[in-house]
A and B are shown apart, each in its own frame.
Chain A
Amino acid sequence: GQNIDQPTEMTATEGAIVQINCTYQTSGFNGLFWYQQHAGEAPTFLSYNVLDGLEEKGRFSSFLSRSKGYSYLLLKELQMKDSASYLCALRGGYQKVTFGIGTKLQVIP
């Protein structure tokens, strides 16, 4: 089976940097995704990690450590529009992707 843990809520200030952590346990691993989901909307793809290390994409970076069952999403230069839920999702041994409950990020002025 698979288990994903991430904080339910976080608050950060506009212009700052925030790190959203995700820990997981799985019997098989084929990659970890991060999605952004604004309230009432569908999730949108942010990043995918299958190897250890940091993947950078503009203001967003994602890190993976497979040995530690750990990932984080780093958001830099926060903007008000970054207020959303951030979903950590795990691809296990097959094609099924399991989502965490999401971290609701509130960006304040």
Chain B
Amino acid sequence: DTGVSQDPRHKITKRGQNVTFRCDPISEHNRLYWYRQTLGQGPEFLTYFQNEAQLEKSRLLSDRFSAERPKGSFSTLEIQRTEQGDSAMYLCASSLALQGGGTDTQYFGPGTRLTVL
């Protein structure tokens, strides 16, 4: 199965520490998205990439959050100086955008569950 993968699946950290998550999209997909989801809520958009370019970033995303996709393949999401409010499931999704348009369906990875103590 060559679906979207994320690492680690679980991360427990102390407040104030930095954490980094990795996402490997489906290999031919050119778009990659990061979402955050808390209990009882839908996924909340954080940012997305088309190839290596970061094209949109949520206004809700503080300066402590940064994402990269250096070679247009895997992506990393870093949270600096973590806070308890950062505790959530961090989801990555990828999609294939065709030049002619059409359906651009996002396929999700299993997520990284972050707990900040």
- Chain B residues in 8 Å Cβ range of A97: 33, 45, 106
In the docked arrangement, what's the CA distance between A41 and B43, Å?
12
Check if B105 sits within 8 Å of A33, measured CB to CB.
yes
Query: On chain B, which size bracket covers the interface?
Result: 20 to 34
Contact A42 B111 (CB under 8 A): yes
- A48:B105 contact, CB within 8 angstroms: yes
The answer to whether B100 has its CB under 8 Å from any CB of chain A is no
Nearest A residue to B31 via CB reads A95
Give chain B residues whose Cβ lies under 8 Å from the Cβ of A43.
43, 91, 108
Q: Is A96 interfacial (CB-CB < 8 Å)?
A: yes
Q: How far is the CB of B76 from chain A (nearest CB, A)?
A: 18
**Residue in B35, B55, B109, B110 whose beta carbon sits within 8 Å of that of A95 in the complex:** B55
Within the complex, which residue of A31, A89, A98, A100 is in contact with B103, where a contact is CB–CB below 8 Å? A31
The listed residue (B44, B50, B91, B107) touching A45 by CB distance below 8 A is B107
Flag if B48 contacts A95 (CB, 8 Å): yes
Instruction: Find out whether the CB atom of A101 lies under 8 angstroms from the CB atom of B42.
Output: yes
Is B48 a contact of A42 with CB atoms below 8 Å?
no
Verify if A13 is at the interface (C-beta below 8 Å from B): no
For A102, list chain B residues within 8 Å (CB): 41-42
Contact partner, B108, options A31, A42, A95, Cβ 8 Å: A42
**Bound complex: CA A98 to CA B44 (Å):** 7
Contact call A101/B40, Cβ cutoff below 8 A: yes
Asked if B56 and A94 make an inter-chain contact with CB atoms under 8 angstroms apart, the answer reads yes
Best-buried of A42, A44, A95, A97 by chain B (most CB within 10 Å): A42
Contact A95 B104 (CB under 8 A): yes
Q: Hey, which chain B residues are within 8 Å of A101, CB to CB?
A: 40-42
Over the window 60-85 of chain A, the binary record of Cβ atoms lying under 8 Å from chain B Cβ atoms (1 yes, 0 no) is: 00000000000000000000000000
CB distance from B106 to the nearest CB of A (A): 7
A99 at the interface (CB under 8 A from B): yes
- The 4 closest A-B CB pairs, nearest first, are A99-B42, A42-B108, A99-B43, A101-B42
Binding site for A on B (CB under 8 A): 31, 33, 35, 40-45, 48, 50, 55-56, 91, 97, 103-111
